[in-house]
């Protein structure tokens, strides 16, 4: 299948920084304020009784020092079989962390990873600048789009399905679903320049679907929106290598490099420094970006 590629999207302002798409790949660091993260990096694990806010700020500082361009903070696990939490609990978990990180790192764009409009509103009030919704491509995602429109912040629309069923090529269906999601968000009042799309690796897809989608990822460039790729430590990589989540770094780096070759703009990762280094090399080869001081994100 041949897909016509759209022009490079116009820059997007995310809080304190403007992201010039197409110049280089940006790295989003993951901060999980949960007890049950699939990757074992949750800041509320029973084994560690240290103050989660202090730990989150220290981890955020480390990620920025290692080269992260923005941070994604979430308070509810999205792994298969996760324990759902109500909005009040999620707010209690993430609002103090977002406020502390925003105060400690005022020049760092912060994303809130949530599916609940009330949580998004509370997070934005605490200092977040971007909404990341794992059900952003669903019809119900219009509620989150309304929040983004009202608060005038960008929105990440991730592809997801309640059942992993596809009647034709996965990338074609994902492209079709995300096209409709972008149209709904624009209709809800979110400017097109404020929309980012995510193919949703690991969400509503089998391992075979994920591999096929990664192979055809370049088709999403037809949307004309920046593409975020989240493969870090995902179970599909574990299936390929038969390794647990804490041993999937090299597999993640492979998908980072291949994703950049396919035209992705942001990679969402747990291990910032190795992915920053992989992205710089891939950008040098794919985009001709040889100088590390040309950041592409400006205050």
Helix orientation angle between 52-65 and 87-104, rounded to the nearest 10 degrees: 50
Distance CA 74, CA 57 (A): 14
Distance CA 200, CA 196 (A): 12
- Which of the following is catalytic: 116, 161, 268, 289? 268
Task: Give residue for tokens 């079989």.
Answer: 81
DSSP letters for 74-126? ESS--STT-----HHHHHHHHHHHHHHHHHH-TTS-EEEE-S-HHHHHHHHHH
Distance CA 105, CA 63 (A): 11
Q: Give the contacts of 189 (CB within 8 A, at least 6 positions apart).
A: 145, 146, 149, 150
Q: Establish whether 234 is a catalytic residue.
A: yes
Could you say which DSSP state residue 295 is in? -
Instruction: For residue 156, give the 3-state DSSP assignment.
Output: strand
Q: Establish whether 268 is a catalytic residue.
A: yes
> How many CB atoms neighbour CB 176 within 10 A?
12
- Which of the following is catalytic: 24, 116, 205, 234? 234
Q: Give the contacts of 153 (CB within 8 A, at least 6 positions apart).
A: 14, 124, 128, 129, 130, 131, 194
Positions marked active-site: 234, 268
């Amino acid at each position: 299948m041949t897909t016509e590629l759209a022009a490079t999207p116009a820059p997007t302002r995310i809080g304190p920084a403007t992201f010039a798409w197409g110049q280089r790949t940006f790295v989003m660091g993951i901060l999980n304020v949960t007890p049950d993260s699939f990757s074992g990096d949750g800041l509320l694990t029973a084994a560690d009784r240290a103050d989660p806010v202090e730990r989150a700020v220290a981890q955020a500082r480390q990620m920025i020092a290692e080269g992260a361009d923005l941070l994604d903070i979430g308070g509810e696990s999205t792994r298969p079989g996760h324990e759902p939490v109500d909005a009040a609990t999620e707010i209690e978990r993430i609002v103090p962390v977002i406020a502390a990180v925003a105060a400690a790192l005022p020049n760092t764009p912060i994303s809130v990873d949530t599916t609940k409009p009330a949580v998004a509103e509370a997070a934005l009030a605490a200092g977040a600048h971007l909404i990341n919704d794992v059900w952003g491509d669903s019809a119900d995602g219009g509620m989150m789009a309304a929040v983004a429109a009202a608060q005038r912040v960008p929105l990440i629309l991730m592809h997801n399905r309640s059942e992993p069923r596809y009647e034709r090529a996965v990338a074609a269906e994902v492209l079709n679903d995300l096209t409709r999601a972008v149209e709904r968000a624009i209709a809800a009042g979110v400017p097109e320049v404020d929309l980012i799309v995510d193919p949703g690796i690991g969400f509503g897809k089998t391992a075979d679907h994920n591999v096929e989608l990664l192979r055809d990822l370049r088709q999403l460039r037809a949307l004309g929106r920046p593409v975020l790729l989240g493969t870090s430590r995902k179970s599909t990589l574990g299936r390929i290598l038969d390794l647990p989540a804490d041993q999937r770094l090299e597999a993640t780096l492979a998908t980072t490099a291949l994703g950049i070759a396919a035209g992705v703009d942001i990679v969402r990762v747990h291990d910032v420094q190795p992915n920053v280094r992989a992205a710089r090399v891939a950008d040098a080869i794919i985009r001709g970006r040889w100088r590390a001081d040309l950041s592409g994100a400006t205050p």
